[in-house]
Amino acid sequence: MPNPGASRKPPPRASRPARKTRGRTRPAGVGKLGDPQHSKSGEAQHASDSLRVMSLGQRIRECRGARGLTLQQVADVFGINRASVSDWEHNKTRPDLDRIVDLARLLGSSTDYLLTGRQGNSSDPGWPFPDIDPARWAILPERIKGRIEGRLLAQLEEWEENNLKSTASTKAA
């Protein structure tokens, strides 16, 4: 006969129990948005891991490494300590806007690339389409270029016509 005063342990569970969230239960292992999920290999993954968008600090570090500059060399140019440059690269702080221009020059980059990650077309400052690489335009057949230029001219004429109407109506009022 078992001892009535002895405590009994519940049997061990084979898997984790379902979690309760605001009155709803979620199966074990299913996380909310932002919680790490697991791949087939068992490694934790986040949704942002697949995008690989670089931060300002990562772009600074990448450009500094490409130029072969040390933290100390960059710090000396700006008259600051190397820990401050390290803080930029680890996104703890950001360089002042007036330093961004000088930093871009030092790193052989553009301010546009450092701040946004987009590569500018610095080779041709007169190129009117920053999102289209001039090299891509150069390989297009002439008939395609002619169609695009025709559409562009039609859009410009339409805009000018509408703009002239609106300025004429505001001057009359």
Asked if residue 104 and residue 76 are part of one domain, the reply reads: yes
Q: How far is CA 13 from CA 25, 31, 42, 132, in A?
A: 18, 20, 21, 59
How do residues 56-83 score in pLDDT, each as one tens digit? 999 999 999 998 999 999 999 999 999 9
Number of separate domains in the chain? 2
Is 42 part of a structural domain of the chain?
no
Q: What is the pLDDT of residue 40?
A: 46
44-45/37-38 β-pairing: antiparallel
- In the chain, pLDDT over 70 holds for what percent of residues? 61
Q: Residue 144: is its pLDDT beyond 80? A: yes
Is 4 part of a structural domain of the chain?
no
- The answer to whether the CB of 42 falls within 8 A of the CB of 96 is no
Is 112 part of a structural domain of the chain?
yes
| Domain carrying residue 106 | 56-116
Asked if residue 136 and residue 103 are part of one domain, the reply reads: no
Asked if residue 132 and residue 104 are part of one domain, the reply reads: no
Is 141 part of a structural domain of the chain?
yes
Asked if residue 111 and residue 150 are part of one domain, the reply reads: no
Is 3 part of a structural domain of the chain?
no
User: What's the rounded mean pLDDT across residues 91-117?
Assistant: 87
Is 21 part of a structural domain of the chain?
no
Asked if residue 142 and residue 105 are part of one domain, the reply reads: no
Is 136 part of a structural domain of the chain?
yes
Asked if residue 97 and residue 148 are part of one domain, the reply reads: no
Dihedrals phi, psi of 94, to nearest 5 degrees: -125, 150
Is 134 part of a structural domain of the chain?
yes
Q: Give the residue, 80 or 172, on which the prediction is more confident.
A: 80
How many whole angstroms separate alpha carbon 68 and alpha carbon 65?
5
How many whole angstroms separate alpha carbon 61 and alpha carbon 40?
32
